[in-house]
Amino acid sequence: MSQVDDSSTAVAVAPAAEVPRVAGSGMSTGLDPSAAAALPPRRPMWRRAVATSPFYMGCVLLAMVIAFSILKPDSFSTVANVRNITLDVAMLQIMAVGMTFVIVAGGFDISISSILVFSGVVAAKFMENRADNWGTVIVGTIICLACGTAWGIFNGVCIAKLKVPPLITTLGTLGAALGAAQLITDGSDVRTVPRTMFVITRYRPFGLSWLVWIAVAVTIVFGLNLAYTRYGRHTYLIGSNIESARRAGIKTDRHVISLYALNGFLAGLAGMVSLTRFSTTTISGHSQDALQVITGVVLGGTSVFGGIGTMLGTAIGVLIPAVLTNGFVVLNFQPYGQQIVIGGVLVAAVYIDQLRRRRRDRA
């Protein structure tokens, strides 16, 4: 056993490429690497896009819009109605952006509706008896965003560090944040919101409210972030296989906390939008928000099992229930029917996602 002693005295290793292969392997080296076939050219972009669920859901949305427009051209496809729908959707869409990140990373968050209310209440309380000017509104907005982010960080730490499952953590936060909001206001809404804020609702650049444009900007900025940056890529990796992400040297705990913080931040922003739109804190008016947001995200093709999802899909998915509700109202159908349809489509969408996974994993 002298080999070990000899080699430990050696200092240099020959350059890798020149190390001769020691005879003794009975194995042929197989293909000549240079003769290996080149990769086939990439399929064109449109062929790849057609195969995605945002494409299908986009078609569904388009079909709905066309159908309602033909059935009720004088009340559905009007400027006023488009304003209506987009304004309804703006607040949900802002939250859906954060939810897309969380669900792509394999997480879940049902607490955003309470975070929205809590942040709005704290901001409204701060602004209540102060000078009615932009300074107050700006500080109020910062407070609102900070409250949302703080709840989000709390969620993230519980989930990433304490390993409490996301559903349970955010179920706890759902109750706690709403309770805290009611504690602050004694259960009644704050209705004295600064008049300065409403300036923003009076102008409609390109025909749509500023609140809608805020939602559009948030969607574009974070959509690009998810699709094209390292942060987005790490989000997909964590959702697809968190253990592999960890082994690849990604700081998964920190990333997960930042995702819930982002989600809380955007819930805070949605709280400010809600405050501006309704000029009151609407404490009891948001209980369905989180569920509507999750419905939209899942309809848009984001997989609840993590690793798959796009921001464009989410925008389409959030619009579908809103357009359907609006269309039912315009057609004088019972609006409750919409809930049945959406419920069915949601379960079907996740079922198809399941099937696709199973087929793939069998391959």
Partner 1 sequence: MTAILEAVGVCKSYGHVEVLREVDFSVNAGEVTALIGDNGAGKSTLVKILSGAINLDRGTILLDGRPITMSSPTAARDLGIETVYQDLALAPELGPAENTFAGREILKKGVLGMLGVLDKKAMRQQAGDAFTSMGTDVKDLDAPVGALSGGQKQSVAICRSVMWADKVIFMDEPTAALGVRQTGKVLELVRRVADKGVAVVLISHNMPEVLEVADSIQVLRLGKRVAQYRGSEATVEMLVGAMTGALDVQNAGGAR
Q: Count interface residues toward partner 1 (CB under 8 A).
A: 67
Q: Which stretch binds partner 1 (CB under 8 A): 22-30, 62-70, 134-142, 255-263?
A: 22-30
Rule CB under 8 A: is residue 25 a binding residue for partner 1? yes
Rule CB under 8 A: is residue 33 a binding residue for partner 1? yes
Rule CB under 8 A: is residue 361 a binding residue for partner 1? yes
Nearest CB to partner 1, comparing residues 248 and 340: 248
Q: Which stretch binds partner 1 (CB under 8 A): 39-47, 148-156, 202-210, 339-347?
A: 39-47
Rule CB under 8 A: is residue 261 a binding residue for partner 1? no
Nearest CB to partner 1, comparing residues 185 and 225: 225
Rule CB under 8 A: is residue 241 a binding residue for partner 1? yes
For residue 92, the minimal CB distance to partner 1 (Å) is: 26
Nearest CB to partner 1, comparing residues 154 and 222: 222
Is 235 in contact with 104 (CB distance < 8 Å)? yes
Nearest CB to partner 1, comparing residues 16 and 162: 16
Is 161 in contact with 255 (CB distance < 8 Å)? no
CA dist 131 → 126, 198, 229, 269, 272 (Å): 11, 15, 42, 22, 18
Is 106 in contact with 307 (CB distance < 8 Å)? yes
Binding mask 189-228 for partner 1 (x = CB under 8 A): ------------------------------------x--x
Burial class of residue 128 in the structure, from the number of CB atoms within 10 Å of its CB (0-12 exposed, 13-18 middle, 19+ buried): middle
Rule CB under 8 A: is residue 162 a binding residue for partner 1? no
Among 68, 118, 222, 236, indicate the residue that binds partner 1 (CB under 8 A): 236
Q: Which stretch binds partner 1 (CB under 8 A): 30-38, 55-63, 64-72, 80-88?
A: 30-38
Token pair 């078609």: residue: 59
Query: Residue 98 and residue 223: Cα distance in Å, rounded?
Result: 10
Rule CB under 8 A: is residue 319 a binding residue for partner 1? no
Is 300 in contact with 309 (CB distance < 8 Å)? yes
CA dist 46 → 49, 52, 164, 309, 313 (Å): 5, 10, 42, 18, 16
Nearest CB to partner 1, comparing residues 48 and 195: 48
Q: Tokens for 306?
A: 């993590």
Sign of CA dihedral 177, 183, 188, 191: negative
Query: Residue 173 and residue 257: Cα distance in Å, rounded?
Result: 15
Q: Which stretch binds partner 1 (CB under 8 A): 84-92, 209-217, 229-237, 321-329?
A: 229-237
Among 231, 280, 285, 329, indicate the residue that binds partner 1 (CB under 8 A): 231
For residue 95, the minimal CB distance to partner 1 (Å) is: 23
DSSP secondary structure, 256-297, as one string? HHHHHHHHHHHHHHHHHHHHHHHSS--GGG-TTHHHHHHHHH
Q: Tokens for 100?
A: 């897309």
Query: Residue 246 and residue 117: Cα distance in Å, rounded?
Result: 35
Nearest CB to partner 1, comparing residues 35 and 80: 35
Nearest alpha-carbon partner for 68 in 56, 85, 48, 55: 85
Rule CB under 8 A: is residue 41 a binding residue for partner 1? no
Rule CB under 8 A: is residue 181 a binding residue for partner 1? no
Which residues are at the interface with partner 1 (CB under 8 A)?
A: 1-4, 7-34, 36-40, 42-43, 48, 225, 228-231, 233-234, 236-237, 239-241, 243-245, 247-250, 303, 306-308, 357, 360-361, 363
